[in-house]
Homo-oligomer: A and B are copies of this chain.
Amino acid sequence: MALIVQKYGGTSMGSPERIREVARRVAHHQRLGNQVVVVVSAMSGETNRLIALARELNPDPDPRELDVIASTGEQVSIGLLSLALQKLGLKAKSYTGPQVRILTDSAFSKARIVSIDEANIRRDLEAGYIVVVAGFQGEDEHGNITTLGRGGSDTTGVALAAALKAEECQIYTDVDGVYTTDPRVEPKARRLSSVTFEEMLELASLGSKVLQIRSVEFAGKYRVKLRVLSSFTDVESDDMGTLITFEEDDMEQAIISGIAFNRDEAKITVLSVPDRPGIAYAILGPVAAANIEVDMIIQNASTDGLTDFSFTVHRNEFKRTMQLLETSVKSAISAKSIVGDDRIAKVSVVGVGMRSHVGLASKMFSALAAEGVNIQMISTSEIKISVVIDEKYMELAVRVLHRAFELDKAPVHETMKS
């Protein structure tokens, strides 16, 4: 008998009818012979409604009290799902985060899980219960109610799966898996049957928002098998979604798993700065001090003792960063000028397989060149190659690269250990 943890998000729990549907799905998995722990979010819209109510009374709300209020959304959900399961004739029992004892630190609204006491849940599972746990919440050592921050229900699911040594943690959402790229941009996008944690992290952080990054990191740390599935498919279809794997466990790995993209960034270039030690810090130090997050950073080798220094920030921070550089940095480092562009897009080719393959970058660049897409910046990591291009070419570039790497076709597998 396998123990599985299933997590259902706000859309899956969005109405009484949807909750009944979740109950049927959970029941189906128990009938298949599994012990099932279910983690649920608040009904969609509920958390926002509660926070709006709180802000109406206090625009700058105490995070402790905000957590007391916000955590009620999930508490209602666990009761409702338990009732729906009982209506199907099943034994079900709900737990709030504090009732499980999901112990967290005291960072209200963004708490981190410290430990989980899984004894009661295990006892209930042995007694034939489906255990329904409130996501997103816990309590600190003083008994204060805490929340894990937005998307924290994923983290609750993964943490419970780790504590219970579950077979896998199934994250049900409104998409049915991880795709090679966004199907709205490339209709030929293909669903991946598996993807590594690292690829998932890249794909998630670059725009394909399927799972919360923190929960994926958590799953990686505790070696929890994560599976992304849709709660909108037919219950009986046994659709398997996308499994998030550990690289070393996965013997058949495609070279490139997907194309990620976003247009949330803006690029800034400081022209003709002296190429001397400390110059990167002189430019980015004040930016960091202003709490502006920097993504890509590029500095070319210099020829004449002068170099150009480029980086990207979130588009919302573009003006503030430009202003900051003009007033506090430019003269201090004797830069010639500062130019910027917030009409850019970042497109990335992601794949663990690229570690052992050469020629992927040039394949990417030639595919883009053939369509006349000019590359403004390039940045590479072990498992991705990212380019910055003019925003208007973004969709074109995604489709071109998807075709060039044959992502619409079944993957060419290779054995990682060879």
Contact = CB atoms under 8 A, between A and B. Distances in A.
A79 B69 contact: yes
A301 to B, nearest CB: 55
A87 interface: yes
Contacts of A99: 143-145
A53 B42 CA distance: 14
Contact of A72 (B53, B76, B98): B76
B84 A58 contact: yes
Contacts of A322: none
Interface stretch (A60-68, A171-179, A393-401): A60-68
A76 B69 contact: yes
Interface string A45-69: 0000010011011100110111011
A65 B53 contact: no
A69 B75 contact: yes
Given A19-B57, A53-B16, A54-B80, A86 B69 contact: no
B72 A75 contact: yes
Q: For chain A, which range describes its interface: under 10, 10 to 19, 20 to 34, or 35 or more residues?
A: 35 or more
A82 B53 contact: no
A20 interface: yes
A68 B79 CA distance: 6
A83 interface: yes
Contact of A57 (B54, B71, B72, B87): B87
A200 interface: no
A78 interface: yes
How many subunits of this chain does the assembly comprise? 2
A194 interface: no
Contact of A79 (B54, B56, B84, B87): B54
Contact of A20 (B20, B50, B57, B145): B57
Nearest to A99: B143
A82 B62 contact: yes
Contacts of A20: 57
Nearest to A134: B68
A93 to B, nearest CB: 8
Contacts of A69: 75-76, 79-80
Nearest to A62: B86
Contacts of A78: 68
Given A76-B53, A80-B53, A99-B143, A87 B58 contact: yes
Contacts of A72: 72, 75-76
Nearest to A143: B99
A348 interface: no
A94 interface: yes
A353 B185 CA distance: 85
Interface string A121-151: 0000000000000000000000111000000
A54 B68 CA distance: 21
A114 to B, nearest CB: 19
- Centre residue among A64, A82, A145 by max chain B CB count within 10 A: A82
Interface in A8-65: 16, 19-20, 50, 53-54, 56-58, 61-62, 64-65
Given A20-B57, A58-B87, A68-B96, 8 more contacts: A62-B86, A64-B94, A65-B83, A65-B86, A66-B79, A69-B79, A72-B72, A99-B144
28 contacts: A16-B57, A19-B57, A50-B76, A53-B76, A54-B80, A54-B83, A57-B80, A57-B83, A57-B84, A57-B87, A58-B83, A58-B84, A58-B87, A61-B83, A61-B86, A64-B93, A65-B82, A65-B83, A65-B86, A65-B94, A66-B79, A68-B79, A68-B82, A69-B75, A69-B79, A75-B75, A96-B145, A98-B98
